């Protein structure tokens, strides 16, 4: 059964994977050996696919190294739940299909207790209680299901929220002439969550 790995606040990418264990210093094939190798040495031996990380605020702060979330994907972490995430870690995790939920559960669960993660509801259930998790937007859920942005693109032929072959388009911004059927050209779209301006 899956278990919880409980961490505190401000877990930075150097704690997740120290720089000297970067794939270009070791190898891509060995990346799954190094998550928390110094911060929690038992993690690498005891983590199992489907386990869940619950942490305090600002998870993933520090450098922008993408191999930190990639190492967590490699060992099969099902989700990370924290009150907040460093912005670039959040973006890297989404790109890789690593599920992140913004919720403050660190004071409500115990380290290594058995847990069930229900992605359909979504909810986290321990022996004592069920905690509702925020429902992600459909495009985020679809990105997770495809294993990340690249998988999404390969399957759909476009990035999430980008117009393609009659897909819903965004509203025109001020000073932008609307295209046919009231849709704005992609270059005129106002920035939205999930699309860079």
Residues in Cβ contact with 122 at an 8 Å cutoff, skipping those fewer than 6 apart: 101, 132, 133, 134, 135, 136
Q: What is the pLDDT of residues 48-81, one digit of tens each?
A: 999 999 999 999 999 888 999 999 999 999 999 9
Q: Say whether pLDDT at 189 is over 60.
A: no
Give the dihedral sign, CA 9/13/17/19. Answer: negative
Q: What is the pLDDT of residues 81-128, one digit of tens each?
A: 999 999 999 999 999 999 999 999 999 999 999 999 999 999 999 999
Q: What is the pLDDT of residue 161?
A: 76
- 20 — phi, psi (to 5°)? -70, -10
Please report, for residues 48, 137, 172, 196, the alpha-carbon distance to residue 75 in angstroms, rounded to integers and kept in the order given: 7, 26, 43, 30
* CA gap 31, 192 in Å, rounded: 33
Q: Which long-range contacts (CB under 8 A, 24 or more apart) does 184-187 make?
A: 186/162
Q: What is the pLDDT of residues 150-183, one digit of tens each?
A: 999 999 999 887 543 444 444 444 444 444 333 3
Quick check: 184 and 170 in contact, CB under 8 A?
yes
């Amino acid at each position: 059964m899956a278990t919880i790995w409980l961490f505190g606040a401000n877990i930075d990418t150097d704690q997740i994977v120290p720089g000297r264990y970067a794939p270009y210093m070791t190898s891509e094939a060995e990346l799954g050996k190094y998550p928390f190798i110094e911060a929690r040495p038992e993690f690498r031996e005891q983590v199992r696919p489907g386990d869940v990380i619950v942490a305090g605020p600002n998870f993933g702060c520090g450098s922008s190294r993408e191999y930190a979330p990639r190492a967590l994907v490699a060992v099969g972490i099902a989700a990370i739940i924290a009150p907040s995430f460093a912005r670039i870690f959040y973006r890297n995790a989404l790109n890789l299909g690593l599920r992140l939920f913004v919720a403050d559960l660190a004071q409500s669960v115990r380290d290594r207790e058995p847990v069930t993660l229900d992605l359909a509801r979504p909810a986290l259930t321990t022996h004592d209680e069920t905690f509702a998790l925020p429902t992600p937007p459909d495009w985020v859920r679809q990105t997770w299901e495809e294993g990340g942005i690249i998988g999404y693109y390969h399957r759909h032929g476009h990035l999430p929220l980008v117009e393609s072959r009659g897909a819903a388009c965004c509203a025109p911004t001020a000073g932008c002439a609307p295209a046919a059927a009231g849709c704005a050209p992609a270059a005129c779209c106002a920035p939205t969550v999930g699309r860079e301006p």
